[in-house]
Amino acid sequence: MSETPIIGITSYLEPASRGQWRDVPSALLPHSYVRQVEEAGAIAIVIPPRLDSADDDHRLVRTLLARLDGVIIAGGADVAPELYEAERHPSVKVLRPDRDATELAIAEVTAQVDVPVLGICRGMQVMAVAAGGTLEQHLPERVGHDDHSPAPARYGSHPVDTVPGTRIAQLLGARVDDVPSHHHQSVATHPGYVPSAWAPDGTLEAMEDPSSPFRLAVQWHPEQGTDPRLFEALVTAARSYAAGLGPARW
């Protein structure tokens, strides 16, 4: 039995340039995810999206999860509205069908086998859609501001209030004064999940599966902040899972 759990983190397929090699298709992930996982005491493994998604996605994901002790479904581009039977809003422009297929399969299979999961931003939205939920496609139309995503390549900042009695509240306390935020969409409906944190403007900021020992998601970007508690909790759950004890409860 390994004492160090292995956490898989989903990623992009993006062109990258290194030296004289230009625009080489690469599996990419902001290193802040890796750093947070490693500092919390686990080994980070990058999960690339599949290019040739097919009917065996779920079988391959089960093979993958047999080698992992936990998963982070990372942030990124908008989920295709067609996946939750919605007409596409004009603000939804860059879609990633490879990530959609891979991450939806991961969200669905982890719900069945109870591997510890932390969804971050897009990851929270993927988990909601995989459960049959829907998304609010352009949040500023409802809240009347751009605080959640103030500008390209720039994080916003706002507080969140947790819901008493939830696991998020147990981990983070009643209020987090400042979370890094970069999203123009949010979760509207989330079958099987309960709300566990809200922004002051009524945006759902966290949700969790009360039937699962560790299945949490947040709309903000904790990997960009200085608070390690969510990653530490994921690694604790993954360590128990690796030991065959099931994900740890608090």
Adjacent-strand bridge partners of 197: 162, 206
- pTM confidence score: 0.94
Residue of 85, 158, 223, 232 marked active site: 223
14 catalytic per annotation: no
121 catalytic per annotation: yes
Residue of 121, 148, 158, 183 marked active site: 121
132 and 104 in contact (C-beta within 8 Å)? no
85 catalytic per annotation: no
Q: Which tokens hold the place of 217?
A: 């998601």
Q: Which tokens hold the place of 28?
A: 């990419």
pLDDT tens sequence across 207-235:
999 999 999 999 999 999 999 999 999 99
pLDDT band at 70 (very low <50, low <70, confident <90, very high): very high
- Please tell me the predicted confidence (pLDDT) of residue 135: 97
Contacts of 25 (CB under 8 A, 6+ apart): 13, 14, 15, 16
Contacts of 70 (CB under 8 A, 6+ apart): 5, 6, 7, 8, 42, 115, 116, 117, 118, 214, 234, 235, 237, 238, 241
- Please tell me the predicted confidence (pLDDT) of residue 155: 94
Q: Which tokens hold the place of 147?
A: 């605080």
CATH superfamily of 6-242: Class I glutamine amidotransferase (GATase) domain (3.40.50.880)
187 and 125 in contact (C-beta within 8 Å)? yes
pLDDT band at 250 (very low <50, low <70, confident <90, very high): very low
Residue of 148, 158, 182, 221 marked active site: 221
- Please tell me the predicted confidence (pLDDT) of residue 55: 60
Domain locations in the chain as residue ranges:
6-242
pLDDT tens sequence across 86-135:
999 999 988 899 999 999 999 999 999 889 999 999 999 999 999 999 99
